[in-house]
Structure 1
Amino acid sequence: MNRLVLISGCSGGGKSTLLAELGRRGHTIVEEPGRRIVKQELASDGAALPWVDTVAFARRAIGTAVADHAAARGKAGCIFFDRGLIDAASALQHLTGEPVLERLSTAHRYYRSVFLTPPWPEIYTTDRERRHGFEEAVAEYERLSAIYPALGYDLVVLPKTSIAERADFILDRLDAN
C-alpha cells in the first residue's frame, strides 16, 4: 500500500505545525519544498522566489518534490509530506499553461487520500517566507481542491481543531484503511 501521505491545502492553514506534531510522534515527515527553497534563496540572494520569479520558483519546487518522492519510496511506514509535487506542478501549470500536471502526477503517485487544511483566517499569518495575502492563499486552496479529485485523489478536509486532534484525525483515518 502506498503510504506517501500528502498534507496540502491553504497556505497558513497549519500544515507545518501539523507535520511537526506527526514528527514528534515518531513519523517520518518531509518539509514543504517551497519553504526550503525560499530559505536557500534568501540565504544566497537568489531569484527563485515566489515574489521575484514565480516560474523559476515553481520549476525548482517540482524538482525538489520529485527528489523528495523518490527518496521516500523505499522507506517503511507512513511518510507525511508538507505539500508535494502536485502542488508545485499545479502552480507551474496555472502560471504558464504548460501541461505538466497530469504527466508528473501519474508518474509520482501519493496515498489515495489527500488531507487538506482549509482556509482559516484566525490563524493565517505572513512571515519572511510567506509574503502573499490570505486572498491568494484561498485562491490556491480552491485550485487545489479541484485539481486533486481530477487526478483521482480523495479529499479529506481537516477539521479546525487543535494540532493534536488533527494529527489523531489523520492517523485514525489511515488506520481505518
Structure 2
Amino acid sequence: MLSWEMRSYRVAREQTGRPVFFDRGVPDTLGYLRLSGLPVPQHVSSAAERFRYHQRVFVAPPWPEIFAPDEERKQTPDEAERTYHALAGVYTELGYELVPLPLAPVEERLRFVLAEAGLA
C-alpha cells in the first residue's frame, strides 16, 4: 500500500499546473497499521512526513444514513467509524487541517470541494 501511494504522489507531482485530488494518501498506511495494532516501521513514519499533501485535507466522516456495504466497501459501520478516527488522527498529528465533507448529495459535495479548493 505504501509504495502504491508514494507512486501516485510522484505521478501527480509530474502533472504540473493541474490540481489533483487523492482518495488515499501516504499517511493512510500509518493509520491502517495503527488501526490493526501493528508496529509502525520507521520508513512508514518517515514517508508520511516526507510526502506532504496540501495543508487542507477533505475527509468523509462515516455517515450511517448513506452507509451500505458493497463490492468496494466491505467494512461494517463500526469498522468504518474506527477507520475514520484512526486516519483522521494521523492526518491531524501530521499537521493537516481536516475539512469534513457535508452530508449532502454528490453534486453538492463536489461544489463544496471545488469552492473550498478555490476552483469554483
The residue that corresponds to 1:70 in the other structure is 10
The residue that corresponds to 2:22 in the other structure is 81
After TM superposition, the score normalised by the length of structure 2 is 0.86
After TM superposition, the score normalised by the length of structure 1 is 0.60
Deviation at 1:130, TM superposition (A): 2.8
Larger CA deviation: 91-100 vs 127-136: 91-100
Paired with 1:131 and 1:145, the residues of 2 have a C-alpha distance of 20
Whether the 8 Å CA contact 2:57–2:97 is kept in 1: the answer is: yes
Whether the 8 Å CA contact 1:102–1:151 is kept in 2: the answer is: no
The residue that corresponds to 2:111 in the other structure is 168
Whether the 8 Å CA contact 2:55–2:96 is kept in 1: the answer is: yes
Q: Return the structure number with greater relative CO, CA threshold 8 A, min gap 6.
A: 1
The residue that corresponds to 1:116 in the other structure is 59
Equivalent residue pairs, number: 116
Paired with 1:129 and 1:166, the residues of 2 have a C-alpha distance of 20
2:40 is paired with a residue whose SS is coil
AA at the equivalent of 2:5: A
1:148 is paired with a residue whose SS is helix
Give deviations 1:108-128, integer Å, cap 9, x for gaps: 110110101011112112123
Alignment gaps of 5+ in structure 1: 1-60
Percent pairwise identity: 34
Alpha-carbon RMSD: 1.7
Paired with 1:162 and 1:110, the residues of 2 have a C-alpha distance of 26
The runs of 4+ residues in structure 1 deviating greater than 6 Å are: none
Alignment gaps of 5+ in structure 2: none
Q: 1:79 to 1:141 in 2, by over 3 A?
A: same
Write 1 or 2 for the structure with the bigger share of strand.
1
